[in-house]
Chains A and B, each alone.
Chain A
Amino acid sequence: MTVSRRIFLGITASSLASPLIGSAAIAAPAEKKKNDVGNAVPVPKDGIIKGRVWIFGDGIWADSLMPAEAMTMPLGEAKAHCLSDIRPGWAAQVKKGDILLAGKEFGLGSARDASALLKYMGIQAIVAESMMPFFVRNCVNSGVPLMECPNVKSIFKEGDTLEFNLHTGLIKNLTTGKQIQGVPMPEAINDIIIEGGTAAVLKKEGYT
C-alpha cells in the first residue's frame, strides 16, 4: 500500500535520498546558458558604427521596449515582446548590426534595462533626437553605443545606412550622403561603452 502510493506520486528511491526538499537552504537555480549573447555585436574599437536604420517615433516608453511580462524572462524569450505594442513582429525582422533611430524622449519611465535586450536582438546602437537618463545609463552599462542629435530623423528614411562617430558626434546617411552633427557623450563614458559597458568592466576585473 505504502509502496504503491509512493509510485503514484512519482517519488523514487533516488529522489527520496535527495536533500533538496525539506532542507532549509535551496540552491539557486542555475543559469543554463551563461554566455548566450544572442545577436549582440561587439562595439567597434574605433568608435565608428555603421548599420541599417529602423525608425521609431517620439516618447517610446521603457514599458514598450520591455513589457512587464518580459521583465524577468531570459532575453531569448523576452525579445519577441520588445516594441510589440507599436510594431508587432518587429523583433523577428531585426538583423544583426541594425541601428534603432528614434525621436524625442526615447526610453521614458521605468529603469528596466531594455538596452541589454536590444543589444541581444542585434541592435548595434541607438540614435535618438533625445534620450531619457535611465536609458542612457543602461546603454553605458550594457555597452550599447548611443548618440543624441536634435532633428536627426529629418535626414533618414527607414532602411537607409547610418554611420556615426562616437567621439566626434558626426552622423552620416551613407545612402543619401547627407550628414548632421550630434552631441557626443563625455569621453570617459565613451571609453566604458567601447570597453563593452560596465558589465564587461566587472567581468574583466573578476567581479562576475
Chain B
Amino acid sequence: MSGMTIIEKILAAHAGKDKVVPSEVIVTKFDKLCILDANFGMPPAFRTQPKKIYDPEVNVIIFDHMVPPQTASDADCGTRARAYRDHFGVKHFYDIGRGGIAHYVMPAEGLALPGTLIGNSDSHTAGVGAYNCGAKGLGGGTLKYAICKGDTWFKVCPTILVKFEGKLPPNTSGRDVFFKMANEIGMKTNHNFEFGGSGLKNLTMYDRQAIAIQTVELGAEFSTFPFDEVTEEFFKKVTDKPLHPVAPDPDAVYKETYVINLNEVEPQVALPPKIANNCKPARELSNLPINQATLASCAGSSLEDLKRAADILRGKHIHPGVRMIVTPGSVKIMQEADEAGYLRDLIAAGATITSPGCGACFGKHSGVLGENERVIATVTRNPRGRLGAKSSEVLLASSATVAASALKGFVTDPRDV
C-alpha cells in the first residue's frame, strides 16, 4: 500500500481513517473553525444565530474584513458577533484592534498548530497550511454547517509537489516565487499543493504563507508546507504546547512534481484579470503609470513586507502623483513595525497607514479606486474592478516592487531604485 502526502495524513487523522486516497469523499472533524466579522452580515451564514452549536471551544471569532466598520450595517455585524460570543461562551475572540487578518492571527495565537485541521469561510485560508496544518476556506454555508454539526465533507484531491532549490536573490520574496510558479505551473483546479526541496530552509514563514495563500488563485484545495527548523523557530515563540508535526510518507504519491530554482526568481508583476500564466518581469512593464500603491492582504502585509517597503522608501518621498496605502496584516505586525521604525519611515515618505485587517483587498474600503485608475498592490487577486470601480486595474506585485513603483510613479523593479 502506497504512502500519503502531508494533507492526506492530516485529513485521514481527522476523518478517523487509516488512509485516504484521491477522489474519495470523506467527512472530517476540525480543531478550530474561524468565523469572521463578515459572516455575521452574509445572509446564508451567521446573520441569524444558530440555536445550538457543536463545541464553543472549536470556535474562533476574528474581525478582519470590515475593520473598522464603514457603514452602520457593517457595525451591526460586530454587534451580532459579540452577542454570539456571549451566548455560546466563545473564548477565542479578536475584536477590532485586538487581532487582524485571521490568516496571520491564527498561527501567531497558537490556534493553527502543525498537524491540526482548521476551517474558515475565507477563500484564502488554505495558505495557513504554510504552518504545517490542514487549512481550508469553506465559504459561509459550510462554515455554519461545520460549526453546528462539527464536521463537513471533502472530496480528497490529488497532490502536486513543488520542490524549491537554491536561495532567493535580494529584492525578491515569496510573492515573486509564486508568480514564477503561476507562470510555470498554471491553473490546477481541484489539486492540493505540497512543498519541499533543499531550498525550503531559505524561505521564511512569511514567504511560505504568501506562496501558500496565492496558490488558491491556481485553484488549490489545500496547500501545505512540511515542518522544519524554520517552522519550529516560529512556534517556539507562540506556544509551550507539544507540537505534532506531520511529514509526508517516503512513498507518498504525487500527481505531478515541479522544481522551482529560487536563484532564478526575479521581481514580477501579475497582470489583470487572472494570475495563472499571466505574470511578467517588472522591468518589462516600466511604461505603466500607477495612481496608487497598496500594501495589504494575508499574502502581502507581513512585518517583512513592511520592512522591505520601509527599506526602499526610507529618507525618500513617494511620487507626487501616487498615494500609497499601507494596511498592516495584524495588530501585532503593526506594533512590531512601529517598534522597528518602519511605520515612521513609511509615513515620512508619504504613505498612509490604515487599520490592520484585510483593508482594500476585497474592494470594499480602505483605499478603493475610481474609474480608470491603476493600482499596484500586494493583494491576493486581480480581476478587473476587484479594488473598486469596474474600469480600474489591479497589478499584483511584491512589497518591494510596490514600494519601488510608489517612488517612481510607474511599475518599477526594486533593483532599479
Binding site for B on A (CB under 8 A): 25-29, 31, 34, 59, 61, 63-64, 67-69, 71-75, 78, 85, 105, 108-113, 116, 130, 132-134, 137-138, 141-142, 186, 188-189, 197-199, 201-202, 205-208
Contacts and interface: CB of A to CB of B under 8 A. Distances in A.
Given A29-B79, A59-B274, A208-B144, 17 more contacts: A29-B76, A63-B363, A63-B386, A72-B38, A72-B42, A72-B73, A85-B384, A105-B189, A108-B274, A109-B381, A111-B123, A116-B44, A132-B219, A134-B137, A141-B142, A199-B145, A208-B148
Interface residues of B, number: 57
9 contacts: A75-B43, A112-B42, A116-B44, A137-B138, A141-B44, A141-B142, A142-B44, A188-B153, A189-B25
B385 A28 contact: no
A133 B190 contact: yes
Interface core residue of A69, A72, A201 (most chain B CB under 10 Å): A72
Given A26-B79, A71-B38, A202-B145, A133 B219 contact: yes
Given A28-B49, A63-B385, A85-B390, A113 B141 contact: yes
Contacts of B83: 25-28
A71 B123 contact: no
Interface string B362-404: 1110000000000000000101111000100000000000000
A110 B86 CA distance: 30
Contacts of A109: 123, 217, 381, 383
A28 B80 CA distance: 5
Contacts of A113: 42, 44-45, 139-141
Contacts of B274: 59, 108
Interface of B: 25, 38, 41-45, 47-53, 66, 73-74, 76-77, 79-80, 82-84, 86, 121-123, 137-142, 144-145, 148-149, 153, 155, 187, 189-190, 217, 219, 221, 273-274, 362-364, 381, 383-386, 390
A202 B146 CA distance: 10
A185 B80 CA distance: 36
Contacts, number: 143
Secondary structure dominating the interface of A? loop
A206 B52 CA distance: 8
Contacts of B66: 72
A195 to B, nearest CB: 12
A137 to B, nearest CB: 6
A31 B83 CA distance: 14
A25 B82 contact: yes
Nearest to B71: A72
B189 A133 contact: yes
B189 A207 contact: no
A113 B45 CA distance: 9
Nearest to A85: B390
A208 B122 contact: no
Contact of B50 (A59, A78, A142, A208): A208
Contact of B140 (A68, A85, A112): A112
Leading 9 A-B pairs by shortest Cβ distance: A141-B141, A72-B41, A28-B83, A111-B123, A111-B139, A68-B363, A207-B148, A68-B364, A28-B80
A105 B137 CA distance: 18
